[in-house]
Amino acid sequence: MLDPSLLRSAPEKVAAGLARRHFTLDVTALSTLDQQRKTLQIQLEEVRNARNEASRQVGQARRQGLDTSAMQTAAAQHGEEIRTLEQSLESILAEWEKLTSNLPNIPQDSVPDGRDESDNVVLRHWGTPRAFDFPPRDHVDLGEDLGIIDFAAGARLAGARFAVLRGLGARLERALMQFMLDLHTTEHGYCEIAPPFLANADSLFGTGQLPKFEEDLFALRDDPYYLIPTAEVPLTNLLRGEIVGILPQRFCAYTPCFRREAGAYGRDTRGMIRQHQFDKVELVQIVRPEDSCRAHEALTAHAEKVLQLLELPYRVMALCAGDLGFSAAKTYDLEVWLPGQNQYREISSCSNFESFQARRLRLRYRAEDGKPQLAHTLNGSGLAIGRTLVALLENHQRADGSIEIPTALRPYLGGLDVVKA
């Protein structure tokens, strides 16, 4: 959520920042609501003062033995007027909350201008896409021929955009999860968390999924819970409403993730690239504001390290302002090379939210002067396990359809170096 004081004092500045996202802020509506709030608060204060004065006069008249019935009637009218004004003020504040809670974050100055993903900027490459001496196959054909991915069973059990991993497929996914968690906890300083896979509305509001993106969530029919779309939700909410004594805090977690993909109809219907349920290892950092830019670079490097150890070529993209997620002030996407598609595809988004989430979460730390200040939050995938499995199969395939296991992953597979049919 944006700073209310900035919205009130400099709405044009906010509008200019949001315009970089191609988002139009209704400055007139915002200013009108704020003026109505000010007017009602002044009126409310005046009537409360009048009521207090009337009560004082009633008390004084009673002590003098005078008839106070007329005074009491006037005081009661003040009370009724106060209730009416309070209701009006509550309504205005609710309108303000509805309007401002749907405003996205303001991009950092370093974010490139642009409208959509076609305007994102390539920052760097790591590794060179392999030159195959045979036609490379995609993960669907490879996985089915190896007997480790069963799309027909997934469709039968649940429907479209689901898959079943069998045998070494399931073991590979488990190995990737354990490899990522061990790397982030032992080398990168994250505390591993095993969170709930359900979240309440307050948690999803705090990280920005609600109210704007409810259509992308799976909600339980008769209970006030949602299936989490990412471990970002429970991890960032661990410190919701608290004044944190020690920063930085680094959390990581493995969870399944559940998304309707409401805006992705017809996209990536083949294979495991875009599914309703997928597994992910998530990284979250909570830091002081002056440290968040450095933390963003470090978090991105932590996610990159996974790809490097798995020997998967990738590139780092700086998202343009028009392609930023709702809560993000700046985002780097890691895109892994997929020979089966002959293109780079996103495998991690690493974002700095600055104080946007912390304000919604009321997540603060105590500054040197002793006053509570809003922290900054960051998160990134470290990595999406299903897409990592896809990249591993396609990049390390052999002509006979077998898959060579990268050296770093072999200890998690009991020393296995090749997956064969």
Residue pLDDT, tens place only, 61-120:
888 888 888 778 877 888 889 999 999 999 999 999 999 999 999 999 999 999 999 999
Residue 271: C-alpha distances to residues 138, 162, 278 (Å): 9, 9, 12
- 387 counts as catalytic: yes
For 164-173, b/e burial (b = at least 16 CB within 10 A) is: bbeebbebbb
Catalytic residue from among 259, 345, 359, 364: 259
Give the model confidence (pLDDT) of 22-72 as tens digits: 999 999 999 999 999 999 999 999 999 988 888 888 888 888 888 888 778
Distance CA 8, CA 37 (A): 11
Residue-level pLDDT at 268: 84
Q: Is 379 annotated as a binding residue?
A: yes
Which residues have a Cβ under 8 Å from the Cβ of 277 and sit 6 or more positions away?
158, 162, 256, 257, 258
Q: What is the pLDDT of residue 312?
A: 98
* Cis-peptide, bond into residue 248, ω within 30° of zero: yes
Q: What predicted TM-score, i.e. pTM, was given to this entire model?
A: 0.93
- What CATH number does the domain located at 26-101 have? 1.10.287.40
Extended beta strands in 111-160, E state? 121-126, 149-150
For residue 20, pLDDT beyond 90: yes
Binding site annotation covers 304? no
Report whether 76 belongs to an annotated binding site.
no
Is 267 annotated for ligand binding? no
Classify domain 117-419 at the CATH class level: alpha beta
pLDDT tens, residue by residue, 107-165: 999 999 999 999 999 999 999 999 999 999 999 999 999 999 999 999 999 999 999 99
How would you classify residue 189: left for phi > 0, otherwise alpha for psi between -120 and 50, otherwise beta? left
| pLDDT of amino acid 66 | 86
What is the C-alpha to C-alpha distance for residues 201 and 16, in angstroms, rounded to an integer? 31
- Residue 55, annotated ligand binder? no
- 259, amino acid identity: R
307 neighbors 98 (Cβ within 8 angstroms): no
Given a cut of 90, whether residue 383 has pLDDT beyond it is yes
Q: Express each pLDDT in 264-315 by its tens digit.
A: 777 788 999 999 999 999 999 999 999 999 999 999 999 999 999 999 999 9
Mean pLDDT across the chain, nearest whole number? 96
Which among 37, 48, 166, 274 is annotated as catalytic?
Answer: 274
User: Who has greater pLDDT, 265 or 253?
Assistant: 253
Q: Could you give the angle at the alpha carbon of 372 between the alpha carbons of 369 and 376, nearest 5°?
A: 110
State mean pLDDT over 382-410: 98
- Residue 75's pLDDT is 76
> Does 274 participate in catalysis according to the annotation?
yes
The pLDDT, as a whole number, for residue 79 is 86
- Name the catalytic one among 81, 95, 346, 404: 346
What percent of the chain clears pLDDT 90, i.e. is strictly above it?
A: 90
Whether residue 393 has pLDDT greater than 80: yes
259 is catalytic: yes
R_g of the chain, CA atoms, integer Å: 27
Q: Which of 327, 349, 351, 355 is catalytic?
A: 349
Structural domain spans, the chain: 26-101, 117-419
346 given a catalytic annotation: yes
Does residue 124 sit in helix, strand or coil?
Answer: strand
Name residues whose C-beta falls within 8 Å of residue 59's C-beta, 6 or more positions apart in sequence.
Answer: none
Does residue 261 have a known ligand-binding role? yes
